[in-house]
Every structure is written in C-alpha cells, then in structure tokens.
Chains A and B, each alone.
Chain A
Amino acid sequence: MKKINYHSLIFPLLFIGFSFMGCNVFDIEDRSDPNNTELGGVIQNPSRADIITLATGTESSLRTDLRIYHINLGMVGREMYRFLAAEPRNTQDLLGGGQSTLDAGAFYTTRPWAAFYASIRNANILIQAANTLQGGALSDAEVQGVTGFGNTLIAYEYLMALNQMNENGIRMQDPTDPEAVGPLLSRQEGFDLIISLLDNAATSLSNAGDAFPFTLSAGFSGLNTPSTFRQFNRALRARVAVYNEDYEGALNFLGDSFIDEAGDLTTGAYHIYSTGGGDQLNPVFAPPQSGAGDSWINHPSFVADAEDGDNRVIGDKAILRVDEDGNPNPATLDGLTGSYGLFVYKTQTSPFPIIRNAELLLIRAEANINSNTPDFAAAVQDLNVIRNAAGLDPYSGALTQEALNDEMVRQRRYELYFEGHRWVDMRRFGRLDELPLDRPGDNVFESFPIPESENVGS
C-alpha cells in the first residue's frame, strides 16, 4: 500500500480552515457604533459635516425639558399654576404647601439640570471638534465663529442653571474630559464663569468673518451671522450685568446689542417649534379652556393687579374660563383656584423667546434708574415705549428711584410674563416677600437644591 504523506495534507486543510474564517483570523477590529454617530470619531476625526450637525443639535438641545423649567419658575414666582391631577408635586412642593420642601431627587430639580448640562457637553464637543479641524476643512475665521457660538450658548445654559439653583451655585463642566467631575461654584463664581465665557465668545465672534459654517434656525433670523450673533451675545451680557448690579456695564453692552426703541418689541432670539419629522412642539402650549385636572391657569394676582386698559392681560395672556353655556368656569385643585386660562403661547408651534427687544428696553430703563449717574428721563422714555405698546397712557408717576423701580418691575412682570423672569427679578430686587401666599403654610423658595446625583454632600 502506498504510504500517504500525512504532513502534506495538513497544510491544505489548515489553509481551507483559515480561509473559511476570513481575513480577520486573530485580530479583532474595534468598530464604532453602527446605529449612531459615535463620539470618539467626532472628536478625533471630525468632518465639516459633523460641525454643522453638532451646531444644529446644540441649538435644538436648548429646548430640552423647558416645560419643567418654566413650570418651576412660573409657580415659585407666583405667575401661574400648572394643575395636573396626576402630578401633585406641582401644587405641593413648588409652592411649599404644608411641610413640603424642594426635593433634590425629584424630576423638577434633576431634569432641567441634566438638560442644561447635556447642551453644554454638546457645545463643548462642537468646540473641541472645530479646533481639531483647524487649518483643515474649517478656515480660522470659521473656527472662531464656531467657538464664539458655542461659548455663548454654554454661558446661556449655565445662566439657566444658576437662575434655578441660585445660592446653591452651579457646577463647572470639564470642556474636554467627559469623565471628569468639575468643581462646584458659588453663585458669584458662577456669574464670573458666565461673564468670562460671554466676553471670550464676543472676542471670537469679532474675528469670525462674515458667516458661520453652519446655518442657524429661523429662531435666530437677523442674528445668524457672526456680527449679528455678537449682538445677541451682548444682549445676554447686558442681562447678566444687571443681575450683577453692573449698570454702567449694562448700558455699554446694550449699545452693542440689537436694542431698538423704534423697533418691534418681539425682535430677538427664539426657540422655534414645528411639526416636522424629528422636531418638537411648544411644550407650554395648552388651550385655555380645559378640564381642571389638566390645565394651565394664570395666578389670580396677575389679573387682579393689572392696570386698567392693559391689553396684555385679559383677552391676551389671560383668557376667562367659561363652560359651554358661557358661564365662568374657574379651575380648582389642591386648595388653589384661578378663573383665567394661561394663554401666552397661542399655538403648538409658537416660538419661545430667549431674549428680545422688550427686555433690552427694560434693562436699559433699569440701568438708567439705578446707575451712579441715573438718567430718569431716558428710563421713562423706554418705559413709555413698553406702556404704549400695551395700550396704556404714558408714565405719570413720580420721578424718584423708588417709584421708577416699582414701575420698571411692574412692566417687566406684565411684558415678560411667563418667559422665565418674574421669580428671578423679585429675588434679585429683594422683593420675594411681596409675592402672594395662597394657602396657610405655603412658602416662596429662594433656590432649588443641587441634584442628589451630583454627590456634592459626600
């Protein structure tokens, strides 16, 4: 019998074997997520298209969980009630009903916070990716534009968080390390951070050329080039200045903003909403006539304290609730009652203001009333623009700092109603004790706690 050479058969077998396994015999390739854009790729090897989608995503993310944030500020600031039978914490915790306090683990504390920081992280990724592309697919001016855009929005989100947490401060996010936990900042340190971000961004925007590499949504129409976006940045800076009682600074910054006493009060930057695929709808829109168990109600004092003839109140932002026979139909829940349905945002796609001309005029008035060299006449001029648009007669009160501050606060209340200002304003003017308490045992809180999951106690 012929002897078969065993060894010569092994290699063809092994060859068949290994070819069966394919090319990746021993080493495994580290592949990225097939179902989503992966972070590692965007940071290490970004493309121009990545910059564009990151910028749009950052603008879009500013809207996350705004409903909860504005219910928080609206209720604590006694502007409105959110009646929802399934969520008793709205009318208990937020108003300090009975023994309630604000819960560091509840959704109203944790979700807006998480939303702000997710936007901040997205903007930090955007800036990091743009700087990696420097000298490549993005021109130097474009990189400056992206950096200025990103830092402005980061500052805005820190400001939202600081508005809510107030004396408890905020946390700084490490711009490049997603695993690092940043330091806890006090209220003033928080403002300092916001100011430095806004000012750095303004400088970047001055060197950013004529256009951004990405397109902003229609919410920023008129403010969507580096130079006009810088006006938006300066407007925010002016707001932060009056929060810090820097009135001279505020006037300076307003000069670089889009303020226009002859212009439309609604000019400004907005969050927009649409029914398009993947887009969002206005989260605080609701029909004013709805069942009491799921309704948005003006705080009774909004209507009660209004000046006669103010066309912003009944019929505009406050609609009398009636049943199908036309009889008054007040809503009641948990010991609270309101006769008027909240109707600031008229459709499910109504935009939500970030900052607008009306606020800038009021900031200018505030600065002129309270600066070291006050200009009461100029303040009255700006206040009259607001009063005029509201169908009211020009201001005829005293020209003293006290009286003018009262008028300025009143106009801020009615003009910027349910835009996230009332609680912040009354707090910074030291007037929280003027806010009405509807039930015995209710409280007006000054600050929300830092979320439990931040582990600041340990």
Chain B
Amino acid sequence: MKNRYKFAFLCLGILLISQSAWAQFTVTGTITDASTDEPLISANIFHQPTGRGTTTSADGKFSIELPGQNATLRISYIGYIAKNADVSASNNQINLALEPDVANLDELVVTGLGSSVKRENLANAVSSVNADELVGSSPAQTLSSNLYGKVPGANISSNSGAPGGGISIKLRGVTTINGSSEPLYIVDGIYLSNDAIANGSNAVTRAAGGGSASNQDNPVNRVADLNPSDIESIEILKGASAAAIYGQRASGGVVIITTKRGSGGKAEFSASQSIGFTTIQNKLGQRTFTAETAEASFGEPGLALFNEAQAQDRFLDYEELLFGQEGVLSSTDLSSSFGNESTSFYVSGSLQDDEGIIETTGYEKQSIRANVDHRFTDKFKVAVSSNYIHSESNRGLTGNDNTGTTFGVSQTATPNFIDLRANENGVFPDHPFNTANQLQTRDLFSNNEDVNRVLTSVKANYEIFRNAGNLLSFQFTGGVDFFSQNNSLIFPGDLQFERISPDPGTLVETNTNNLNTNTVALLVHTFTPSSEITLVSQGGYTSFNNDQNIVSTVGVGIIGSQTNVDQTNSQQINQTRVFQRDRGFFLQEEFNYDDKYILTAGVRADKSDRNGAVNEFFYYPKASFAWNLTNMDFWKNDNVGNLKLRVAYGETGNLSTFGAKFSSLGLSNIGGFNGVLINNSRGSEDIQPERQREIEAGVDVSAWQGLANLSVTVYNKNISELLLSRELEPSTGFSFEQFNGGGLRNRGIEASLTLNPFQGENLRWSSTFNFSKNVSEVTDLTVPAFDVGGFGTSLGVYRIEEGESATQIVGFDPAEDGSGTTVTQLGDGEPDFRLSWFNQLNVAKNIDFSFLFDWKKGGDGINLTELLSDLNGTTNDYDDTDLTFPDFVNDAAGITDDTINGVKRLSLLGVSSRQFVQNASYLRLREIGLYYNVPVSALSKISSGLRGIRFGVSANNVFTISPYRSYDPEVSNFGNQPISQGVEVTPYPSTKQYYFHFNIDF
C-alpha cells in the first residue's frame, strides 16, 4: 500500500514539476493608435527576460508564446510612447492603445559611446532627424542636401550645382581657421571618411597656378556616397558640450547615423521608384547687343559677327545651349526586412541615375546593403552592417581657371551674336574671343569620377552579469571604411586650346585608395539600487587608423584617340600619402534620480600621431545637468507636460593638418643630377590639437499634451590653441611654421518650436520652426592680420583680424572724405540668422502634404562671375542703370548714377571692392511633396499581402528669392572651407528637381 502511494505521489510530483518547468502560455492581443483607433502595424512586442519578441500584423494583432505563468511585456512603436503590460496565463488577452509621442520624449538619444537616454532626460541640445523627416517630403540627391532646414544651428551650403555632391555642413559657426571644419560622421559605428579629393583638372585649368593639386577642382566630399533611404535616424551633436566624449576629432560636431535594421517578425518588402527631371534654378539672361555695343566690347571682329548674326536673325541663347538640358532623374529602391526571434535582416538595394543640366554630366549610384542582427543567447548578440556603393559622376569643368578653358569662364566671353555650334559634320568652330569653345569642350572632354566603397561594421554586445539591480555588459564595435576613387580626365587634342599646345591633348589620371578602420571596446554598468536611482558607468578604449595614397599622373601629347596615360609624349607624376593613428580612453558616469535630476560627467583622453608628441594624452572633460521640473513632486500643472532646464559643458579637440610637424627636404635638380633642398616651412615638433570649450544652457518645454514644444539653447564656444602659420626669421633657413596660438569665440542661440495644432482623425498637422543665430569673433591673434581665401584685397578677401568676426570680408573702398583708398570691412560671411519652417500635414488619413521653407538672412558672398562677365562685356545688365552706389564712391570712381552698370562696376576696379561683396540672403522653398496613400481597406481587396501603396509628386528648390546677382547665393569656388566659403567664379549653376514617386510595401 505504501509503495503505491509513494509511486502516485512521485508521479504527481513529477507531473507538477514538469508542469512548472514546461508550462507555457500564449498571449494574444491587438495594438492600436490611441488618437485614431487605427491598428498599429509592426508594433514591437518584447519580453525582456527571454528576449522573445514579435510584431503586430496588418490588422494590429499579435501572438506570442511565453514560458512560466506570468510575464511583463513591453509594447513599443517608433513615434509612440511605449507601454508595459502585465500578462499571465489567466490574463492572456490584451488590447492596448499607444499614445503618439509628439514631444518625442521617449525617443532614445545617444549620449555616450555605449549608452543612450530618453530625450526627456537629455541634458544637451541634440537634434534628431528620422527617416521620414529626412526623405519623406522630397528626397534630394545626396544625404547632406536632405538636411537643409531640419537642424537648428547647422549652416549647410552647397558648393555648386554639379551632380553628385560637394556640400559643407558647419555646426554652430566657425570652429577653426586652418584645420578641418566639417563634423565627424559615424555610420553604424564606422568613422566615415569625408575627404574631398581633387581630381587633378588644375593641370589644365591652372586655377591654382602651376601644376599643383588644388581645391578649385570642384571636388565631392565623400559623405555623398551614403544612400539616404537606408537611414533610420540621424543624431547631430552640435558642439563640444555634447561631443566631448568623441575627443579630438569632434570640434566640428558629430553626426551619428543609424541605418535601418530588420525587425524579427513577418517578412516585409518594400519597393519604390522615383522619376523626375532637373532644370536650371535661375537663368541670368544675356546682354542684348547693338552694332555699337558689339563694336565697343569686341572691336571690329565683333561688329562683323554682329552684322552677320543680324542678317540671319540668329541670336543664340547660350544659357539654354549649355545649361538647358532637362536632365532625367531616376531612382529605384528595394528593401526587405525579415527574420525570426533571434535573427533579423534588413537588405536593401538602390539604383540612382541622374542627368545634369549640362549635357554629358550626370551622377549614377548603385548601392547594396545587408544589416544582420543575431541574438546568439539571451546574453550575446551581434549586429553586422555592410554596404557596398559604386558611384560614377561626370561633373563637367566649371569654376575658376587661368586658361579660359572651363565652361563658365568660356561662357562669360560669349556674346549672343556668335555661333559656336557644331556644323553638319560635327566640327566646332573656334571661339573668336576665347581660348576655348565651351560647347566643344562640353562634348569632347570628359571628367569622370568612379568610386567603389565598402562600409562594414560589427557590433557585439555581451551581458556579463545581471541581477536585480545590476547589469554589466561589454560592447565591442569594429568598423571598416574603404574607398577607391578613380578620376579620369580626357582633353582630346582637337580641343581649341589643346591644338595650340606643343603637345596637344592632356590626360589626367588620379587614383586614390583610402582605408579607415576604427574600434571601440567598452564596459557599461547600470546600477539601480532603488527604483529612483539609476547609475550608468561606462569606460573603454577607442582606436582609429587611416591610410591614404593618392597618385596623380598628367600626360601631355595624346596619340590618336588612345586614352592610356602611358601613351603620351611626356608625363608628370605626383604622389601624396597620408596616415593617421589615434588612440583614446574614456570614462563616463550618468546619475539619474527618478527622472528628476540627471547628472553626467566624463572625460576622454586622446593621443594621435598628428601631434608633435605622439604618445602624449590630451584630456577632454565633460559635465552636464538636466532638471525635469515636471517630474518634481511639487509640479501640479497639467498643461505643461514637460519642462526641463539643462546646462552642459564640454571640451573637444581639432587635430593639425597632416605634415605640419615635418621639416622636409624637397627636390632640387641640376644638370641631370637629383638633389634635395630644405623646404621653407619648418616642422613644429610641439604642434598639438586646437581646444574647444563650450558651455550651453537651454530649456525644453512641452505643453498642452504636445500641442506646442519649444526648445531654446544658448551657447558660448571658445577655441584656443588655434592652428596658425607664422613667419620666421628667414636667416634660420626657414620662412614659416605652423603653431598653436590665438583664440576664436562663437556665441549663439538655437530655438526650435514644434506646433501640432491638429491631431485629429481627419487632419493632422505638425509645424516646426527652426531658428539659429551665431556670432563669431577672433579674440586673440598673436600674428599680424592675414588673408584666407579669395584673390586679394582688390577683389574682396576674407581676413582674420583680432577683434573682428572670423568671417569678415575686407576690400578697398574710397575714404568718405575723399582722401584716398582705404581697406575696410565690406561684409561678413556669417548670416544674421537662419530660419526654416517645416510642415507635415496628413489630410483625410490618406493624403500627406509637406513643405519646407529655408530662410537665410544676411551673410555675404564674393561674386567674381559678374566681374569676368563685365570684363568681357557680356553681363546681362551691362546696359542698365539700376545699380547705384553712394555718392562718395561715385566721386572717387568718376561715375554717376546714370552710367551704365557694366561701366560703373569696371570703373570701381582698384577704387572699391564693394561691387563684389554681395548680399547672399535667400528665401527658398526647399522641399514640397504631396502623396496619396491607398486606404488599408482598398489594399486588402487587391491582395492580402499588401501593406501599403503610396504615390505622389514632389519638388526641390522650387523657387528662390534673393538679391544675389548670380546663379545661386549658395556657392563655393574653393570647396568646403572653414572660413572662405562663398567665393564664386562661374560655378556649375544650381538646379531644381521635380519628381513623381511610387512606393509599394508588402
């Protein structure tokens, strides 16, 4: 009897034990949008202890199997406030509604190398741009052009209208004079190379005199390679107070880009096609000639050609002939996200084919991406991102030159009464007034840039230890960025300017290989001793390596139509190599008391072989404090949902340019023997990074349940140890050296106001104003005032002078009392302010309408295109009299208000430079888009697998209002420059784009 009971109890016991060990329950439910009651598709359901997760289907439903008897699930969706739900075997049916997170309070923002916090608790002014804001309204050609007007404090300016890129982003004013001013770009943990490599066209254009490499080759900076539609979100750390933890590469700010990742759950597939055309933004027009003016400007040959043209009634519009192509734009994107609870994939491919407004120019890009996330165990997960990009751009030949060969310079020498077109045999006539016929150059010459790029990163996250109040994990990130850029320029011997050379025909081949590798290894410890206190400590090591090799060969004397550079009469070769090794350590502590007080402190130690002492560490501390008043116990006001005061301080560095620390010997040959001769710049053995110290303070308010959200930040940036060049006593044998000295200061304010006046079912409207203003001053200069950028005082030049704005433009102007010519400040490159207005509307649930206005007030440029046109007598307003100058200027130049514009401006040469310094303000409608989403009900009738169909039209740069007297107030002949952005010499004209879009999601 006893044995039977024992056996029964044993069986029961086993049964019970196995019940508890193997017990599972299934939870099902529906997730909806609290404001519209519509089901939320692809919302995330996540069970943290086991790491299991799923997503909701097209009708908002989900089902998940969980172990044990009860659990807490976290339900989240981008743009909505996440919620926790307690479920159990008995309570396994939940229907939840998620509130839209209009104030983005729950959004996670990166604050350290290994952690992020909710925006609600963030102590810095970090701007975020999500995928929808980035490309949802009207996608532009490259990443940087999609950021206009969306980041307060960012001064974004494109260098020309040439297809393929070439855009500068400066955050919070000018941070350096001789260093690099662009921000650090990090994509999925990879430190991206943003170099702009010159293509070598200077060998023919001689823009920079002599055959040296020049930044007047209109280069593309390589961030243009990224595919904007792969991007999930972008966070921008604008100043040292936020970016300090990135140390000595972060003075220009940090742009952190995260690409899309798969979500475990149902497989999704998305395809979109955009097709459109591009056209010139702003035509300037040509001068209307008469027989008299033709002879006055072009002499007897001009008169003869004018009469010929008049007899045939053949006056040509050269802007139309050269810039008149309506280039076809096409972009195809395919992407898919699939996986299961442990592995998820995001795969995408993209094909872009854009023509330019000049025939033979254009931009093509092919990109393929695979992002894989795999969770090996509960504790170990790995994320791999890999991207291959191939791009090819043909950017023509524009900008400055000293040989008359670029399209733009040739165009300024072209009156409308000559005929430069090819005859019926395809032969072009010589330009009667210039060394080059721009139509011939356009058709026969080629400028091709071919880039192959691979971006790969691996992120591993291992949970070392976890218990109730402790979580210690180890994170490792490794990134590789390799690109190979091949520039091929062919100037055939038939070109007008090549035929007169002793060696007709020029070939330029420039090959660049660039490799960046970086790693971050860190430990993060989260300690929650009580429900109110959270401490996040992190510390680790980072490394960065860069190697670059540029070999440029110029061959003159082409044989037939052969384009190999070794089959030319003579070659000249230049090679430049660059390397960099950076190592650093960092430590950071975050303390959060009940989401009321959030305190952070940290320090970064960096060393680099750009410094004279390669193994010396430089320390960059940071500290910040945020106070969430609305979370305080005393806060009773329900109207204000979030009120936060914040203050932050940080220091970053900016490394010296490569070569500053070397004393080197260059070549000096005699009689066939090779010799070396000391260069006149002495290396600075104690060169160190510039140091930026920034303090920022701000307030964030969110009121009336997210109806209005205001964020205001003021900042003060001081830069010391500026990299400058000083003259040495030449009797030492050296004339210059670079050194650290001098100081620069920027002060400014950024404000962002988002209004959501309507959040109802039939109308949703979100409107954002972004405002920023920055003022700079050179606070300390230990060398005499010097010029940076521009072509000399007589044409207007940027000058660094103590006590003045860093971006001041000086030039000649007559003294008001008539005593002669003085050098005086004529303008400033810094805008008075920038204001943008971005609107997204959703009407009747299915129609999306958005538009973005971008207003830059103030900020001057130096327009030399007008000068070249005047010197040739071809400016469109040459014969008008509407341009006026003050009386004292008229007197000094011997002109009156009735003198014609062309003669007026030419008379000012040497007397005044004010005609070149022009107001480059503009109001521009950057993006406008109208889309229709086929309703969900209609979709399910077509096919059950369809999640969405969307089609629409959009346009970029539709109109511009600006007093600037040329193609585009946004221009830079010298490419991306810290100070002298905004000098114009016959650029590739800027364009506008019109698109039709179609998008289908499965």
Q: Which A residues are within 8 Å of any B CB, using their own CB?
A: 4, 6-7, 9-10, 13-14, 16-18, 20-22, 24-40, 42, 50, 53-61, 63, 110, 113-114, 117-118, 120-122, 124-125, 170-174, 178-182, 215, 217-219, 272, 274, 276-280, 451, 453-455
Contacts and interface: CB of A to CB of B under 8 A. Distances in A.
Given A27-B615, A28-B581, A36-B665, 7 more contacts: A4-B379, A110-B730, A172-B731, A178-B682, A217-B670, A453-B728, A453-B729
A179 B732 contact: yes
Interface of B: 377, 379-380, 460, 462, 464-465, 474, 476, 478, 519, 521, 543, 545, 572, 575-579, 581-583, 607-609, 614-615, 659, 662-680, 682-683, 727-735
Contacts of A110: 730
Contacts of B668: 56-57, 60-61, 278
B605 to A, nearest CB: 12
A35 B733 contact: no
Contacts of A6: 379, 464-465
A173 B735 CA distance: 14
Q: Which 6 A-B pairs give the minimum distances between C-beta atoms?
A: A121-B733, A57-B675, A56-B675, A217-B671, A36-B664, A60-B670
Nearest to A171: B731
Nearest to B476: A17
Contact of A178 (B608, B662, B663): B663
B521 A14 contact: yes
Looking at chain B's contact residues, the main secondary structure is: strand
Contacts, number: 199
A118 to B, nearest CB: 5
Given A28-B581, A60-B675, A178 B733 contact: yes
A180 B677 contact: no
B478 A20 contact: yes
A299 to B, nearest CB: 30
A114 B730 contact: yes
Contacts of B662: 32-33, 36, 38-39
A110 B735 CA distance: 10
Given A215-B673, A276-B669, A28 B663 contact: no
B102 to A, nearest CB: 41
B573 to A, nearest CB: 10
Nearest to B572: A277
Given A33-B659, A279-B669, A59 B675 contact: yes
A442 B758 CA distance: 84
Given A30-B609, A30-B614, A59 B670 contact: yes
29 contacts: A13-B474, A13-B476, A17-B478, A28-B581, A36-B664, A37-B665, A37-B676, A38-B662, A42-B665, A56-B670, A58-B677, A60-B677, A114-B735, A117-B733, A118-B678, A118-B730, A120-B733, A122-B665, A122-B676, A172-B731, A173-B733, A178-B732, A217-B671, A218-B671, A272-B671, A279-B671, A280-B670, A454-B730, A454-B731
Given A14-B521, A56-B673, A455 B733 contact: no
B667 A278 contact: yes
B614 A29 contact: yes
A274 B670 CA distance: 8
Given A37-B676, A117-B731, A20 B579 contact: no
Nearest to A181: B729
Given A28-B583, A35-B659, A36-B664, A17 B521 contact: yes
B519 A20 contact: yes
A219 B671 contact: yes
Contacts of B664: 33, 35-39
Contact of B677 (A22, A118, A217, A277): A118
A215 B673 CA distance: 8
Contacts of A16: 476
Nearest to B581: A28
A39 B665 CA distance: 7
Contacts of B607: 28
A444 B731 CA distance: 26
Contacts of B521: 14, 17-18
Contacts of B576: 35
Contacts of B671: 217-219, 272, 274, 276, 279
Contact of A278 (B377, B478, B669): B669
B669 A40 contact: no
B901 to A, nearest CB: 28
Contacts of B543: 21, 25
Contacts of A181: 729, 731-732
Given A117-B730, A179-B732, A453-B727, A53 B581 contact: no
Nearest to A184: B731
B677 A61 contact: yes
B730 A451 contact: yes
A54 B670 CA distance: 12
Given A17-B476, A178-B733, A181-B731, A277 B519 contact: no
B727 A17 contact: no
B476 to A, nearest CB: 5
A32 B685 CA distance: 12
Contact of A173 (B460, B615, B683, B731): B731
Contacts of A4: 377, 379
Nearest to B21: A1
Contacts of A454: 729-731
B540 to A, nearest CB: 10
Contact of B732 (A17, A28, A50, A180): A180
Nearest to B673: A56
Contacts of A35: 575-577, 659, 664
Contacts of A42: 665
A60 B669 contact: yes
B123 to A, nearest CB: 30
Nearest to A37: B665
Contact of A34 (B579, B583, B678): B579
B733 A272 contact: no
A79 to B, nearest CB: 27
B663 A38 contact: yes
Contacts of B666: 36
Contacts of A17: 476, 478, 519, 521
B168 to A, nearest CB: 26
A59 B727 CA distance: 26
Identify which of B676, B677, B731, B733 gathers the most chain A CB atoms within 10 Å of its CB: B731
Nearest to A277: B669
Contacts of A58: 675, 677
Contacts of B380: 9
A28 B672 contact: no
B676 A57 contact: yes
Contacts of B464: 6-7, 10
Nearest to B671: A217
Contacts of B615: 27-28, 30
Contact of B733 (A10, A118, A274): A118
B460 to A, nearest CB: 7
B678 A39 contact: yes
A121 B678 contact: yes
B672 A276 contact: yes
A182 B578 CA distance: 35
B674 A53 contact: yes
A31 B662 CA distance: 10
A46 B926 CA distance: 61
Contacts of A276: 669, 671-672
Contacts of B683: 39
Contacts of A277: 572, 669
Contacts of B579: 31, 34
A345 B578 CA distance: 43
Given A13-B460, A118-B680, A453 B730 contact: yes
Given A30-B614, A38-B664, A56 B674 contact: yes
Identify which of A117, A170, A171, A182 gathers the most chain B CB atoms within 10 Å of its CB: A117
Contact of B609 (A28, A55, A278, A455): A28
B707 to A, nearest CB: 48
B577 A53 contact: no
